[in-house]
Amino acid sequence: MNRDQISNVLKKYLPEHAVGSCTDWVVEHRIKVNITKSRASKYGDYRPPQMGKGHHITINHDLNPYAFLITFVHEVAHLTCEIRFRRNIEPHGKEWKQEFQFLLSRFLHQHIFPEDVLSAVKNYLLNPAASSCTDIDLQRALKKYDLKKENALVLVEDLPHKSIFELSHSRKKLILIKGEKRRTRFHCVEIGTAREYMVNPLAEAKPVKSIENEQ
């Protein structure tokens, strides 16, 4: 694709004022960008050139524009680290953090991010993690801008204590009982196996029933 075609595709997913810079990166580094189905375990990933193929980035199709941008920059930071350091660094070590902070800093103004997301992004950039999902404040701010769907799912934090629910987007069908909150996550137990899970409060869930309602 030529530059205009790349730009037209990215316009569907990114904030308007971020399209130009992101298009420049795709053209400069000859990035193959694949928009994928939703994945519970990650928002995006980066694969370095191999077997004659160039840089490859995948991003989930259902991210809102601000989450899409942060994810794209996250993966481009992996790409630029690959160019600078090859694979002689930790995947999310200090080199990647510095690269991510540098690349995302060009977007830190209100022409791109709304005020609440901008504030959360700035706090997150003080010590960025392997996934923005680990920053509850940032994730909560971003979720406000998700496309509202019919039959919308419920956030785990909004379910009553001891609710039974199906965890959305999990690799297998997990039916869990919601337990107490421990630090930042809810302690949940799988029905049938008694396996324990620490669930993100902002994970999406489909309510099944509540134990307390049966008592």
Q: Give which of 73, 75, 57 is closest to 65, Cα–Cα.
A: 73
Per-residue pLDDT band for 189 (boundaries 50, 70, 90) equals: very high
The structure tokens listed for 141 are 């701010």
- In percent, the amount of the chain with pLDDT more than 70 equals 93
Residue 24, number of CB atoms within 10 A of its CB? 13
Over range 118-144, report the average pLDDT. Answer: 89
Per-residue pLDDT band for 153 (boundaries 50, 70, 90) equals: confident
Over range 21-27, report the average pLDDT. Answer: 97
Position 151 scores a pLDDT of 58
Per-residue pLDDT band for 210 (boundaries 50, 70, 90) equals: low
CB within 8 A of 90, min separation 6: which ones? 96
Position 214 scores a pLDDT of 46
Q: Which of 15-19, 155-159, 171-175 has the lowest mean pLDDT?
A: 171-175
Global confidence as pTM: 0.81
Half-sphere exposure for 112 (CA within 13 Å, toward CB): 24
